[in-house]
C-alpha cells in the first residue's frame, strides 16, 4: 500500500500533467497564430496605412502645485521640471515623413508653457507592418522557448503521477531534464526589458532546488543501500 504522501504526489502529478498538456496546446496555438499574424502583416502593401495632417499641442508646467523647496529651485532658475529644447525635428525614414517645431512661450504666472506644432506629410504602412510583424515573430519565438520546458514538464509530471517514491531514478532524471530545458528561455529573458533578470533569477532558483532535491535523493538511496 502506497504512503499517503506519495498518493498526494501522484494526484498532484496527474493534475499537473493535464494542465501541462493544455499549456502545450495553448503554446502550439500561440506559435501558429503568431507566425500567421506576422506573415499577414508583412504581406500588407506599404499603402495599407496612409496618414496625413497637422497637429498642435501645448504643454504647461504649473509650479504652484509643488512644495516650497521645489518651488524655490524653480524660482531661482536652477531647475525646471520640464525642459524641452526649442528645435525643429524632421523625420523621414521607414515610411515616416513628418516634422514638428517646439517653441517655448514666455514664463507664465505659475510656470512655463511649450507649444508643439507639427505636420504629417505621410505615414505609410512600411514601418507599421515591420514593427507589428516582427513583434508577432518574437512572440512565436518566446512561445517556442516555453514549449521546450513544457514538453519536459509533461514527462516530469507523468513520472510523478505514477511513481512509488519521489526519489525514484526516473523522477530525478525527469527533474534534471526539466531544469536544463529552462535555460534557453532564461537566456532569452536576459534580452527582455523589465523582466529579464527577475525571470532568470526565478529559473536559477528552480534549477537550484531541483539539484538540491537530486542530491537528497542520492543520499536517500545510499542510506537505503546501507540498511
Average pLDDT, whole number, for the chain?
Answer: 78
Measured CA to CA in angstroms, residue 43 lies from 30, 37, 39, 65, 130 at distances of 20, 10, 6, 51, 10
Residues whose CB falls within 8 Å of the CB of residue 23, separated by 6 or more in sequence, listed in order = 150, 153
Is residue 181 scored above 60 in pLDDT? Answer: yes
If one compares 224 and 19, the residue with the highest pLDDT of the two is 19
pLDDT of residue 63: 63
Q: Give residue 86's Cα distance to chain centre.
A: 36
* pTM summary value: 0.63
- Residue 206 and residue 156: Cα distance in Å, rounded? 14
Is residue 142 scored above 70 in pLDDT? Answer: yes
pLDDT of residue 44: 79
Question: Over pLDDT 90: what percentage of the chain?
Answer: 21
- Please compute the mean of the pLDDT values over residues 105-124 and round it to a whole number: 72
- Of 95, 104, 107, 12, residue with least CA distance to 49: 95
pLDDT, tens only, 18-50: 999 999 999 999 999 999 999 988 887 777 667
On the 0-12 / 13-18 / 19+ scale of CB atoms within 10 A, 113 is middle
- What is the residue extent of each domain of the chain? 4-41+128-226, 46-124
pLDDT of residue 37: 93
pLDDT of residue 71: 57
Is residue 90 scored above 80 in pLDDT? Answer: no
If one compares 10 and 44, the residue with the highest pLDDT of the two is 10
pLDDT of residue 81: 53
Residues whose CB falls within 8 Å of the CB of residue 147, separated by 6 or more in sequence, listed in order = 24, 27, 28, 31
Amino acid at each position: 500500500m502506497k504512503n499517503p504522501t506519495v498518493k498526494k504526489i501522484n494526484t498532484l502529478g496527474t493534475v499537473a500533467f493535464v494542465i501541462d498538456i493544455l499549456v502545450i496546446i495553448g503554446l502550439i496555438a500561440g506559435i501558429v497564430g503568431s507566425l500567421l499574424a506576422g506573415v499577414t502583416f508583412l504581406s500588407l502593401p506599404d499603402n495599407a496605412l496612409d496618414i496625413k495632417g497637422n497637429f498642435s499641442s501645448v504643454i504647461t508646467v504649473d509650479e504652484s502645485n509643488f512644495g516650497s523647496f521645489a518651488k524655490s529651485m524653480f524660482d531661482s532658475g536652477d531647475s525646471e521640471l520640464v525642459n524641452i529644447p526649442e528645435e525643429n525635428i524632421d523625420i523621414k525614414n521607414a515610411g515616416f515623413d513628418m516634422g514638428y517645431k517646439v517653441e517655448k512661450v514666455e514664463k507664465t504666472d505659475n510656470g512655463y508653457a511649450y507649444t508643439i506644432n507639427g505636420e504629417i506629410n505621410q505615414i505609410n504602412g512600411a514601418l507599421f507592418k515591420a514593427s507589428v510583424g516582427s513583434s508577432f515573430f518574437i512572440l512565436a519565438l518566446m512561445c517556442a522557448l516555453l514549449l521546450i520546458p513544457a514538453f519536459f514538464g509533461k514527462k516530469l509530471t507523468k513520472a510523478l503521477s505514477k511513481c512509488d517514491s519521489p526519489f525514484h531514478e526516473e523522477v530525478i532524471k525527469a527533474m534534471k531534464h526539466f531544469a536544463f530545458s529552462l535555460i534557453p528561455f532564461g537566456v532569452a529573458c536576459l534580452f527582455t526589458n523589465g523582466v529579464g533578470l527577475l525571470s532568470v533569477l526565478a529559473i536559477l532558483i528552480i534549477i537550484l532546488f531541483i539539484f538540491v532535491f537530486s542530491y537528497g535523493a542520492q543520499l536517500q538511496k545510499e542510506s537505503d543501500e546501507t540498511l
